[in-house]
């Protein structure tokens, strides 16, 4: 998720009336999901992909973006259990079963939520370019008119700006890394947990990540699906925590993966002031809490603290949502509001 603050200094803002519209209620949806662990190389690749999404979307140097792209070496596909000896003709044909598409995007399927939301995000990106672009990227006014997060507008009742930013992106590299990451792990997740649960998880992590980000720093323009992407990582973390006693010899490998993932995400999320660090890790926190809340482990596999953890996660989530809504909407800043025109009659600005 990326943000822009300095560029708004050049806008001519419209003075607000004395009275303002106050909206204090945003529908709160609860979500769920818990994911599976993969190989160390495979998981490290995913962590780098998400971390790169936030950084390159903030106009970082192209060389840094392509360096991260080069590190995304696709991991070897997981092999099936050993099979009986095959004939020579069959053995020769076996390697052809592994395609590049399956390697890059496991369980690829166009009849999924993650595929459809990714196509919608591409459509939104093209629309933002058509509305107004500069140097191959959407203008700030284009992003604002299409629903980018902006604290003063949200405080006046534009609560849709807590959801729409996850459909918008700042430039081509930003959307590429976000879409690659979410599809890289999303097809597997959706297949395992079902379309409905995955959809709820994805959307709520994006919503709560944007809400907390606005509550902490309302005077920024923010776009990107990284809040939802980091939410998927938070779900992974919750699953590992809940199943730690069942992991056996895999504990050391998974611990190293999480250490590497967290280090990479922190480094890439803080490398530029235009990266929305708060939004990234708020999304991860949302995924972690919701995964615990909606976990349905069999009783014989539950850790001793299972029920207490679920209750604590519910209370913490409710408290975060209430406090963030009060801060972002009821106590949010009154202005300024950028004068960008309308979608059908956008104001023509050079940036």
Exposure on the CB side of residue 251, measured as CA atoms within 13 A: 9
Residues of the chain with pLDDT under 70: 1-98, 350-351
Distance CA 14, CA 25 (A): 26
Which one of 3.40.640.10, 2.60.40.1180, 2.40.128.50, 1.20.1540.10 gives the CATH number of domain 31-67+105-338?
1.20.1540.10
Query: Cα–Cα–Cα angle for 143, 166, 118, nearest 5°?
Result: 105
Interhelix angle for 277-293 vs 226-242, to 10°?
Answer: 40
How many residues in total does the chain contain? 351
Distance CA 241, CA 81 (A): 28
Using the CB atoms, write b or e for 263-294: b if 16+ within 10 Å. ebbeebbebbebbbbbbbbbbbbbbbbbbbbb
What's residue 194's pLDDT? Answer: 87
Tell me if residue 14 falls in helix, strand or coil: strand
What's residue 346's pLDDT? Answer: 82
What's residue 14's pLDDT? Answer: 43
pTM summary value? 0.73
Q: Which two tokens stand for residue 32?
A: 């769920």
Q: Which two tokens stand for residue 295?
A: 């976990």
Q: For residue range 109-137, list pLDDT tens digits in order.
A: 999 999 999 999 999 999 999 999 988 89
- Cβ of 260: how many Cβ atoms within 10 Å? 15
Q: Dihedrals φ, ψ of 23, to 5°?
A: -125, 125
Residue 327 DSSP one-character state: I
Distance CA 65, CA 53 (A): 9
Distance CA 155, CA 97 (A): 54
């Amino acid at each position: 998720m990326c943000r822009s603050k300095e560029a708004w200094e050049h806008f001519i803002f419209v003075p607000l009336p004395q009275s303002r519209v106050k909206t204090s209620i945003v529908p709160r949806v609860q979500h769920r999901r818990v994911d599976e662990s993969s190989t160390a190389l495979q998981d490290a690749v995913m962590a780098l992909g998400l971390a790169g999404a936030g950084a390159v979307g903030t106009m970082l140097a192209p060389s840094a973006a392509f360096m991260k792209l080069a590190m995304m070496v696709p991991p070897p596909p997981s092999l099936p259990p050993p099979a009986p000896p095959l004939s020579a003709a069959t053995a020769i044909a076996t390697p052809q079963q592994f395609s590049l598409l399956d390697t890059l995007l496991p369980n690829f399927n166009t009849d999924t939520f993650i595929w459809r939301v990714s196509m919608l995000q591409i459509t939104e990106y093209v629309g933002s370019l058509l509305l107004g672009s500069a140097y191959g990227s959407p203008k700030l006014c284009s992003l604002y008119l299409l629903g980018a997060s902006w604290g003063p507008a949200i405080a006046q009742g534009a609560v849709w700006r807590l959801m729409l930013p996850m459909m918008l992106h700042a430039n081509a590299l930003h959307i590429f890394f976000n879409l690659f990451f979410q599809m890289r792990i999303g097809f597997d997740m959706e297949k395992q947990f079902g379309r409905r649960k995955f959809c709820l998880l994805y959307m709520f992590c994006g919503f709560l990540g944007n809400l907390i980000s606005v509550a902490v720093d309302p005077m920024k323009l923010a776009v990107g699906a990284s809040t939802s992407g980091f939410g998927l990582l938070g779900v992974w973390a919750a699953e590992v925590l809940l199943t730690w006693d069942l992991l056996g010899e895999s504990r050391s490998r998974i611990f190293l993966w999480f250490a590497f993932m967290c280090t990479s995400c922190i480094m890439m999320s803080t490398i530029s002031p235009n990266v929305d660090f708060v939004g990234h890790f708020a999304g991860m926190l949302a995924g972690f809490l919701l995964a615990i809340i909606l976990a349905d482990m069999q009783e014989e596999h539950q850790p001793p603290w299972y029920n207490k953890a679920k209750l604590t996660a519910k209370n913490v989530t409710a408290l975060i949502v209430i406090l963030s809504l009060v801060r972002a909407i009821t106590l949010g800043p009154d202005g300024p509001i950028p004068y960008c025109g309308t979608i059908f009659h956008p104001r023509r600005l050079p940036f």
